[in-house]
Chains A and B, each alone.
Chain A
């Protein structure tokens, strides 16, 4: 059974860079069928898509975050990562990673990691 687990610092200072890693177990990140995604949820608010990456490195990011977001993949470790620079308090959120599947006319995220809370504060 595929599982995803987010890891990284729970506290980041304003203007610094948020860095998270998602470790995939129970399956290969190098599957040609899937992308891998990051989604976040500020406390008490809705879900926001951050971006997706394919195992060969192609990425798609939310235009509202694109200038600050870097998503990368390490197939040797079965991991993919998120870097978000110049963070502010507005970036405080629970960050989720998930597997993303798409086909003509349809797409979905499944399964999801449990999420990790990142707080931006000095």
Chain B
């Protein structure tokens, strides 16, 4: 199986840019999807595929990938972006197995 590693915590000043990274071997072959989770709520998809946002997700959220690292960037962070963020990807075995990242707590200062 695969592992996806994220920094546990990241902070960003209001209005500034923050990048959240996700590292794992499977990311060389598969794009990550990204989820935002606020306390007491279910996760919400914010980025999928190469760099796609579901309807209703602000365009300050963007995704990118290079080698074994996927990134979620929030450009102009808002107070409401304070949340936990998780990446996920298919297992590097090629089977339809999923693995979630360890999660990153984003604090907006």
Residues in A lying within 8 Å of B, measured CB to CB: 35, 37, 39, 46-49, 52, 60, 62-64, 96, 100, 102, 105-115
* Selected contact of A49 from candidates B31, B48, B98, B102, CB within 8 Å: B98
Q: Does B66 contact A (CB under 8 A)?
A: no
**In contact, A107 and B30 (Cβ under 8 angstroms):** yes
In the bound assembly, the distance between CA atoms of A38 and B50 in angstroms comes to 24
**In contact, B48 and A110 (Cβ under 8 angstroms):** yes
- For residues 54 through 97 of chain B, which have their beta carbon under 8 Å from a beta carbon of chain A? 54, 86, 88-90, 95-97
Q: Say whether, besides A102-B96, A107-B33, A46 and B49 are in contact (CB < 8 Å).
A: no
* Selected contact of A109 from candidates B45, B90, B95, CB within 8 Å: B45
Q: For residue B29, which residues in chain A have a CB less than 8 angstroms away from its CB?
A: 105
Q: Say whether, besides A106-B30, A108-B48, A63 and B97 are in contact (CB < 8 Å).
A: yes
**In contact, B98 and A52 (Cβ under 8 angstroms):** yes
- For residues 6 through 28 of chain B, which have their beta carbon under 8 Å from a beta carbon of chain A? none
A-B pairs with lowest CB-CB distance, top 3: A108-B33, A108-B48, A110-B45
**In contact, A63 and B1 (Cβ under 8 angstroms):** yes
In the bound assembly, the distance between CA atoms of A73 and B50 in angstroms comes to 31
**In contact, A37 and B98 (Cβ under 8 angstroms):** yes
Which residue of A is nearest B96, CB measured?
Answer: A60
Q: For residue B95, which residues in chain A have a CB less than 8 angstroms away from its CB?
A: 60
Q: Say whether, besides A107-B89, A109-B88, A49 and B99 are in contact (CB < 8 Å).
A: yes
Q: For residue B1, which residues in chain A have a CB less than 8 angstroms away from its CB?
A: 63-64
**In contact, B97 and A106 (Cβ under 8 angstroms):** no
**In contact, B30 and A46 (Cβ under 8 angstroms):** no
Which residue of A is nearest B97, CB measured?
Answer: A60
**In contact, A46 and B97 (Cβ under 8 angstroms):** no
**Within the complex, what minimum Cβ distance (angstroms) separates B41 from chain A?**
8
